[in-house]
Amino acid sequence: MQILNSNLGFCNSGKPILWVSEQKIIPPRPWNPESYQENDYRYWYDKEYAGWNIEKINTPLSPGDGPNQKKIICLLPGHHPYHNAYERGMKETATAFGINLSFRYSDWDDEEQQYQVEESIKEKPDLIILVPENSKSSTVWYKNINAAGIPVVASNLMPDDEGFRYILTWTGPDDWGQFRKLATVFAERMNYKGGYCIISHIPGCSAYYARIWGIMTELHRIAPAMKLLAIESTNLNTEETYKVAAQWLNKFGDDLKGIVSADDNLVQLGINKALNAEGRDDIVKVANGSTRIGIRMLKEGKLDAITFQSAELDGALPIQVAVDWFNGLKVPPVRYLPIYILTKENVEEFVFNYNTPEEIDLDYLFKLINECNYGGVETFFDSIYEQFSSTGVLTIEYFKGFTIELLSNLLNVVKNNKLPEKEIIGDYETIFKKLFNQQTMEKTLLWLKEVSLNIISEIKRNNDKPPTLIQQIVDFVDKNYHEPMSLKVISNTFNLSAAYLGRLFKEETGECFSKYLNELRIEEAKKLLISTPEKANRIALEVGYSDSNYFYNTFKKYTGMYPSEYLELRNNQ
């Protein structure tokens, strides 16, 4: 797992933001997109924003009980380096959330994938993830899965409009957004002028249109002096690409200044082979993808820019959607991968800055809270944000794990300080949903800081109040547990009836008086057994038991062993 940051990828400063639920802004649909010219971005509205305005049918309700032990089946079209990496990313994310995940490969056979869909439905999993080879065929499969009441997530290959009606969501790269951003870098490298050619994706798929018209419409808008010379698909084949690129170089000569490729691997190898044969090192080259080959070519100067598209992240994304849905959260109709453009100038920092942030001392935070140090807590959270922001890539697993641990410990601080839980954190069932619903890393940390500061305010308020009678009684027990003690003795001391005192004590501590006292004494006895050479019968007296036999039996009741057994066990550890 490499990166899981934000639906917007990176903020303007290049710093990562948390990928939770923030989505691409969807503009209103033009009244009649087809009334515009093809080189106008508005013409392609229905393809660029496919899936966003489709009315869903028979959408299953979330169980709202979390992802742990849920069964998910992922159907993949065949073995391919991209799909192998996709599977790795999916496996790692599923394992992190305790999901039982299995895969089915159809070896690029529509009939076999249809059979696998039917068999998967019979198994009644909690969710199906489908990566089809054919968009049109998949519509019937989505419909059948939906009719069986099984939630389905479409991934990687975008469905047609009808297919979108039956799925929870589609996950994959924002090809249109990526190629618009790639067009900006391409235009800059071309000095906003000159002829260019495009090697397209396989005709008919959603990536085909995005990787042609995404860049063409953007260049028409920002660099009208740039001229498209030719477009051709080579079916992502190296030798076919070599032949086409060689023909272009011969036909257009010095008029050809740049080439856009739908793939940074096999296709780009073919392009570079043709350029090397002609000795053309003046061509600006940009491509889709971020394979190891593409990244290496970028670093060597054989490519000028590529889009970031991690196959591992592509596989992790549908699992994140599934996790959100199992947790009862609302999932959008489309969940994109982040958009980022890699160049020779930033690739080293980006690719090799996958380090986990330095270990964060949460005990120090809780010390600041208990000391009511407002300024210290503010500084603590500010420093965390700076640390996370300076990390080139921050995994969602790390960030979620960190925030869950932090919030869980804040809840313990609330309990340990006997603060009014409802007023500070509300309902335990919704507090973690509030955590996951924060839109960005910055908002998540701000929310946790606010919770921390509210806890300080309550602690301070409690400290400023004189202790209540029952608090005085509990403090008395905590300090004098080693003395002869009973409800009757304490009730006489504080001038209360024993029955009333017993009720008050249980309301305050959650335990009856005798259990509270015995647990206090036994805990102290355990410490003395380990830290002193004194015999058990002597320790019994020191912690308040006048009868050593009663002490032995009580010790076993609360620890499961006699004092001698406990001491032997600790000495052997």
pLDDT tens digits along 363-383: 888 888 888 888 888 888 888
Q: What are phi and psi of 16, to 5 degrees?
A: -75, 145
Decide if pLDDT at 182 tops 70.
Answer: yes
The pLDDT tens digits of the residues spanning 330-348 come to 888 998 887 889 998 887 7
Average pLDDT, integer, range 246-265: 95
Confidence of residue 533 (pLDDT cuts 50, 70, 90): confident
DSSP H helices in 263-346: 266-278, 292-300, 311-326
Q: Are 75 and 106 in contact (CB under 8 A)?
A: yes
Q: Are 203 and 180 in contact (CB under 8 A)?
A: no
pLDDT number for residue 426: 65
More confident of the two residues 224 and 338: 224
485 secondary structure, DSSP code: -
Q: How far is CA 220 from the centre of its chain?
A: 36
| Cα radius of gyration rounded to whole Å, the chain | 32
Average pLDDT, integer, range 8-30: 51
Q: Are 309 and 83 in contact (CB under 8 A)?
A: no
Average pLDDT, integer, range 401-415: 81
Q: Which residues lie below 8 Å from residue 538, measured CB to CB, with a gap of 6+?
A: none
42 secondary structure, DSSP code: G
Q: Which residues of 269-297 are buried (b: 16+ CB within 10 A; e: fewer)?
A: bbbbbbbeeeeeeebbbbbbbbbebbbeb
How many residues make up the chain in this entry? Answer: 573
The pLDDT tens digits of the residues spanning 410-450 come to 888 887 777 777 676 666 567 777 777 776 777 888 889 98
Confidence of residue 354 (pLDDT cuts 50, 70, 90): very low
DSSP, collapsed to helix, strand or coil, labels residue 70 as coil
Q: Are 8 and 17 in contact (CB under 8 A)?
A: yes
Task: Please identify which residue in the block is written with the tokens 């270990």.
Answer: 359
Q: Are 19 and 6 in contact (CB under 8 A)?
A: yes
Confidence of residue 286 (pLDDT cuts 50, 70, 90): very high
Model pTM?
A: 0.58
Q: How far is CA 264 from the centre of its chain?
A: 27
Tell me the range of 214-218, 293-297, 400-404, 541-545 where mean pLDDT is highest: 214-218
Tell me the range of 50-54, 245-249, 262-266, 489-493 where mean pLDDT is highest: 245-249
Confidence of residue 394 (pLDDT cuts 50, 70, 90): low
pLDDT number for residue 89: 85
Q: For residue 571, what is the enclosing H or E element?
A: helix 563-572
Tokens of 108: 């690029």
Decide if pLDDT at 85 tops 90.
Answer: no
Number of H helices, E strands in the chain: 25, 12
pLDDT number for residue 11: 31
What rounded mean pLDDT belongs to the chain?
Answer: 85
Q: What are phi and psi of 150, to 5 degrees?
A: -100, 125
The pLDDT tens digits of the residues spanning 518-530 come to 999 999 999 898 8
Confidence of residue 573 (pLDDT cuts 50, 70, 90): low
The pLDDT tens digits of the residues spanning 137-146 come to 899 999 999 9
Confidence of residue 216 (pLDDT cuts 50, 70, 90): very high
Q: How far apart are CA 188 and CA 65, in angstroms?
A: 50
Q: How far apart are CA 216 and CA 209, in angstroms?
A: 10
Euclidean distance between the first and final Cα of the chain, in Å? 37
Confidence of residue 349 (pLDDT cuts 50, 70, 90): low
